[in-house]
Amino acid sequence: MEYTTLGNTGLEVSRICLGCMSFGSSGWREWVLDEDEGRELIERAIDLGINFFDTANIYSLGESERVLGDVLAEYDRDWPVVATKVYNDMDPDNPNASGLSRKAIEQELANSLDRLGMDTVDLYQIHRWDDDTPIEETMRALDDAVRRNQVRYLGASSMWTHQFADALHTSDRLGLDRFVSMQNHYNLTYREEEREMLPFCAGKGIGVLPWSPLARGFLARPHREFLDTARGSFMDSDDHMSRRVATYRANGGLEINERVEELADEKGVTMGQLALAWVLHQDEVDAPIVGTTSVEHLEQAVEALDIRLSRSQLSYLEEPYEPVPVNGHA
């Protein structure tokens, strides 16, 4: 396993972050692993040297956090780096169970820590931007959580760059703890983050943790087979996530998929490994978040760290890309 520091912090994280959206309850999403299967994957990740785990309160409505916490309780707590998130609606009957108000942050953080079985979470991230709460209120509440030793580092996820800049400026202006990481939507078939967010993060020393580095599986198999999978069928349904697979297929995406298949065959690796290797070759990226329901695919993801791509191979994979609508901020 390779390790790196997260942005300008001294926090050492594995270059593969295990995304835990796939663990919790199949009652939440049919492709989610229940507890015993999730435990097997988390334990194998630890065996492989992965020390970075990303979850969220919304994943299986808290069950992902509980499963992760139960497994990690059996290991040295000082070793793993645990990240979770806040923002999404945890209770439709409670108007304060979502968003980034002080009340929502404080109660949802307490609930997350309880499910994780931890006194302190290493990285606490806002899952999206909250248009209804002043950023000053959000940043003060997050700073208080750091000062109470409930949180070690603060992070953010997909938003417009001007919003992220506003949050950082607010923290600096008020003398508050600031965000150290950005978890954003980024892969070979969705590169809109290269326009503003990635250069901004590089200039500010912000760690970058891409979600969906394999385009939700679109880059892990030939596009002609993708829609036959459970994830592909779900994404092509009448659901807001279906717009993402449409984005991946559009404006060069099908040709990129074919080039990934071609180059993977030449190098004797899987398509998923090659697509992940491309993300790992991007200078701004610290650790892509890899979600999986297969031990085999997890092991392959770790092996992708050893794949070397030349400048000409990187250019060949990138060349068909054309701009697509911004996706993932909602």
Give the domain ranges of the chain: 3-183
Q: How far is 161 from 167, CA to CA, in rounded Å?
A: 10
Interval 306-325: pLDDT, tens: 999 999 999 999 999 999 99
Assess contact for 17 and 276: CB atoms under 8 A: no
Interval 205-240: pLDDT, tens: 999 999 999 999 999 999 877 666 655 555 555 555
Angstrom distances, CA of residue 139 to CA of 33, 171, 264: 34, 7, 44
Residue 20: pLDDT band (50, 70, 90) is very high
Question: Helix crossing, 35-47 with 295-303: angle to 10°?
Answer: 20
Residue 241: pLDDT band (50, 70, 90) is low
Classify domain 3-183 by CATH number: 3.20.20.100
**pTM of the predicted structure, to 2 decimals:** 0.93
| Residue 262 burial by Cβ neighbours in a 10 Å radius (0-12, 13-18, 19+) | middle
Considering the candidates 59, 87, 186, 248, report the single residue annotated as catalytic.
Answer: 59
Q: Is 153 known to be catalytic?
A: no
Does residue 265 carry a pLDDT above 90? yes
Angstrom distances, CA of residue 315 to CA of 124, 256, 282, 309, 311: 35, 11, 12, 10, 6
